[in-house]
Amino acid sequence: MFETLTPPPQDRIIDIMGLYAADARPEKVDLGVGVYRTEGGRTPVMAAVKAAEARILQAQESKGYVALAGDAGFHAAMRGLILGDAVTPERVAACATPGGTGAIRQVLEMVQRLTPQARIWVPSPSWPNHAAIIGHLGLTQVDYRYYDVDAGGVDRDGMLADLAGAKRGDIVLLHGCCHNPTGADLAAPDWVDLADVFAATGAIPFVDIAYQGFGDGLDEDAAGLRSLAARVPEMLIAASCSKNFGLYRERVGIVLAVTDLGQARAAAAAMLAHLNRQSYAFPPDHGARVVETILTDAELTAQWRAELDAMRTRMTANRRTLAEALRAETGSDRFGFVAAQRGMFSLLPVTEAQVAQLREDHAIYLVSDGRMNVAGLTAETIPRVARAIAQVLA
């Protein structure tokens, strides 16, 4: 059975994780996979998570199954965190999933079942696993213009012109905040214009929000998504708790489907639970329960928010310091966009060969498309990284 198997193409992010792990040079710098790191290079368990886990350990008396869609308390807590009061809870069907990737997969599976002819509009560029999952499910992908490399920002006019070509029932993927891989986010008026596009075309927004709290703040980062949710009849959301709760390996994600009231909501909820059943039956519970414990306790919420604020502040400071170092090294403002962008990533204007040169000659690891994780920078490595980038791109 396996003799004829051709190994599938490796995801470029997973690829770089392997190369970095195999590099024995002590000075190596990991700016690859999207994992938060402290100034000391660690990815610690957040103190609020530890405290919630201690409470769960103490109080939990059963590891019996919960429900196919996960725990209702987790649904309510995440609905509040993401949607605020943008829509009434009665319109939202929720389903816990293994990570944000699980949520994306379940949303796309649902689309495949309900409207297999729908085209999935994907910003160019996007997280590589978006295209991989769309292709895996045999759905049709259409790219739309998103990033303006010269401006280091969103190609707003290109995006709106392309999306005007969407048809009724098509799905438009949007990054809720901290766009991966560019760090270039939609501004408040863009979300309003997008709502007009959805009204005109009948396409349905699908928002992937994996970095809430890493851009400008928890509410600030969800403001665009909320303004859209308040304006459209239907919307799909895939959210992750990997980054903002640091729960990567616990796999905590959720699908929120904003529907019409009544039958539509019940049907969406039933379909999502059914899809969980077909893939893995019950979603993992531990991480979801940690999130619920934190979000339903004022003291733990405050502790978590403070930790998240500190993470965001460090990433923003790294952006500023690197942009200044690059200005000093190059004598130009061509990397000013790094300071202006938000979240964990920026996309450097480099070729794959230059990424390889940074890796081989300087032990600096970027993803092959030039994506850089700013959380991997430290006060010590920034001058060296800036010098290497300036040299390689000279």
Q: Which residues of the shown chain bind ligand LMR in the complex (CB under 6 A)? A: 13, 33-34, 127, 129, 180
Q: Does residue 210 have an active-site annotation?
A: yes
In the complex with ligand LMR, the residue whose CB is nearer, 240 or 259, is 240
In the complex with ligand LMR, the residue whose CB is nearer, 20 or 127, is 127
Out of 86, 210, 269, 323, the active site residue is 210
Q: How far is the CB of 33 from ligand LMR (least distance, A)?
A: 4
* Residues 6+ away with beta carbon under 8 Å from 215: 177, 178, 185, 221, 312, 342, 343
In the complex with ligand LMR, the residue whose CB is nearer, 34 or 284, is 34
Name residue 122's amino acid. Answer: V
In the complex with ligand LMR, the residue whose CB is nearer, 175 or 289, is 175
Of 264, 207, 210, nearest to 237 by C-alpha is 207
Q: How far is the CB of 237 from ligand LMR (least distance, A)?
A: 17
Q: What is the DSSP letter of 69?
A: T
Out of 208, 221, 222, 268, the active site residue is 208
The Cα 349–Cα 180 span in angstroms is 15
In the complex with ligand LMR, the residue whose CB is nearer, 13 or 222, is 13
Residue-wise DSSP of 165-194: T--TT-EEEEESSS-TTT-----HHHHHHH
Burial class from Cβ neighbours inside 10 Å (0-12, 13-18, 19+) for residue 125 reads buried
Out of 77, 243, 268, 388, the active site residue is 243
Q: How far is the CB of 17 from ligand LMR (least distance, A)?
A: 9
In the complex with ligand LMR, the residue whose CB is nearer, 129 or 296, is 129
Q: Does residue 208 have an active-site annotation?
A: yes
Out of 121, 127, 191, 304, the active site residue is 127
* Residues 6+ away with beta carbon under 8 Å from 237: 82, 83, 176, 206, 207, 208, 209, 225, 255, 256, 257, 258
Q: How far is the CB of 178 from ligand LMR (least distance, A)?
A: 10
The Cα 139–Cα 123 span in angstroms is 16
Of 243, 248, 255, nearest to 283 by C-alpha is 255
Q: How far is the CB of 291 from ligand LMR (least distance, A)?
A: 18
In the complex with ligand LMR, the residue whose CB is nearer, 208 or 292, is 208
In the complex with ligand LMR, the residue whose CB is nearer, 229 or 284, is 284
Count of CB atoms situated within 10 Å of the CB of 255: 30
Q: Give the 3-state secondary structure of residue 43.
A: coil
Burial class from Cβ neighbours inside 10 Å (0-12, 13-18, 19+) for residue 99 reads buried
* Residues 6+ away with beta carbon under 8 Å from 141: 119, 120, 121, 122, 131, 134, 135
Measured between its terminal Cα atoms, the distance across the chain in Å is 50
Q: How far is the CB of 135 from ligand LMR (least distance, A)?
A: 16
Q: Which residue has the tokens 């729960």?
A: 247
Q: What is the Cβ-side half-sphere exposure of residue 302, based on CA atoms within 13 angstroms?
A: 2
Q: CA 10, 170, 108, 371 torsion: positive or negative?
A: positive
The Cα 342–Cα 316 span in angstroms is 7
Token pair for residue 186? 């939609």
Active site (catalytic) residues:
127, 208, 210, 243
